[in-house]
Amino acid sequence: MSVLDKRDATASEQVSPPADDAGTPDVTRTASEPSQRSRRARPLILNAVSVALGIALWWTAAAAGFKLPTPPEVVSRAGTLIADGTLGEDVLASLTRVLIGFALGTAVAVPVGFLMGWYGIARGLMEPWIQFFRTVPPLAIIPLAVVVMGIDETPKIFVIFLAAFLACVISTFQGVVNVDRTLINAARVLGAGDAVVFARVVVPASTPFILVGMRVGLGSAWATLVAAELIAAQEGLGYRMQNAQLYYDLPTIFVGLISIGILGLLMDRILLLAERKLTGWQERR
C-alpha cells in the first residue's frame, strides 16, 4: 500500500463515526444525547418560568392595593434577619425539629406498615388504632401533649412525629398488600422461603409506596411545624411568624413562609432523587 493510500485510510478512520457490532455507524447514540439533555433541561426551564410568573403576580397584587408586602420589602427584611442571625437560628431550630420528628415517624412507620401488610394478626390489632388516629388531626393532640409531656422540645417533636408517622404507615401498608401475587408465587415455586420472599420481592416492590409516603409525611411534618412551635417556643420559623402577627409585620411573615417553602422543597427534591435512584427499574413518563 502506498503512503497516500495509508494516509487516506487513516483519515477515514478518524472521520467515520463509531460502528456497532453489525458494522454500521452508531449515529443513534449521538443523535439521542441532545434530546436527553433537552428533556432534562426542560423541567428546570419550566420551573424557572413558573417562579418568575409567581413573583410577577405577587408584585402586581401588591401594587394593585392588596395588603401584601412587595418582593423588595421581603428581601430587605430577610437581609436584616440574616444579618442579625435571627433567621439562621430560626431555620436551625425548625429544621432540627422537623428532621427529628420526620426521621422518627418514618423509622416507626415503615416496620409497622410491613407488619400490617404481611401478617393478618398484626393488621387486625393495629389497623383500628391507625385509622382512629388518622381521623384526629395532630394539631388536636397539642393540648394533651403539653399536659403529659410539658412545654420543652418533646411535645413539639411528638406532634411532628405523629403527622409523619400517620402519612407514611398507610402508604407502606398499601405497598405491601398491593405486591403482585404472581411474583410471590413465582419466588415460592423457585424454593424461596418467607424471609427471602420478603427481602427480595416484597421490600423492592413496596419501595415506591414507601418513598411516596415519606414525601407526604414530610409535607405533613412541615405543615404541623407552625402549630407545634406555639408550644412555648422561643425560636423557630413558626414562632417568628406568630410573633410577627402581633405587630402586623407582614414582611417577616412572608420571610417565614418562603423559608418553610424553600426548605420543604429542597427536602422533597432529595427524597425524589432517592426515589429515582432506588426505583430505577420502574417505568416513568
The residue ranges of every structural domain in the chain are 70-278
Q: What is the tens place of the pLDDT at every residue in 104-153?
A: 999 999 999 999 888 889 888 998 999 888 888 877 888 888 888 887 88
Over residues 232-260, mean pLDDT: 88
Flag whether pLDDT at 250 surpasses 70: yes
Please indicate whether residue 182 or residue 75 has the higher confidence score (pLDDT). Answer: 75
Looking at residue 231, what is its pLDDT?
72
Q: What is the tens place of the pLDDT at every residue in 28-47?
A: 555 455 666 766 677 788 88
Q: Which CATH architecture has domain 70-278?
A: Orthogonal Bundle (1.10)
Q: What is the tens place of the pLDDT at every residue in 174-209?
A: 888 888 778 777 888 887 777 888 778 888 888 888
Flag whether pLDDT at 254 surpasses 90: yes
Flag whether pLDDT at 25 surpasses 70: no
pTM of the model: 0.77
Flag whether pLDDT at 9 surpasses 60: no
Flag whether pLDDT at 11 surpasses 50: no
The whole-angstrom separation of Cα 100 and Cα 158 is 9
Least confident stretch, 38-47, 93-102, 218-227? 38-47
CA 256 to centroid of chain Cα atoms:
20
Over residues 151-165, mean pLDDT: 88
C-beta separation of 146 from 155 below 8 A:
yes
Looking at residue 281, what is its pLDDT?
60
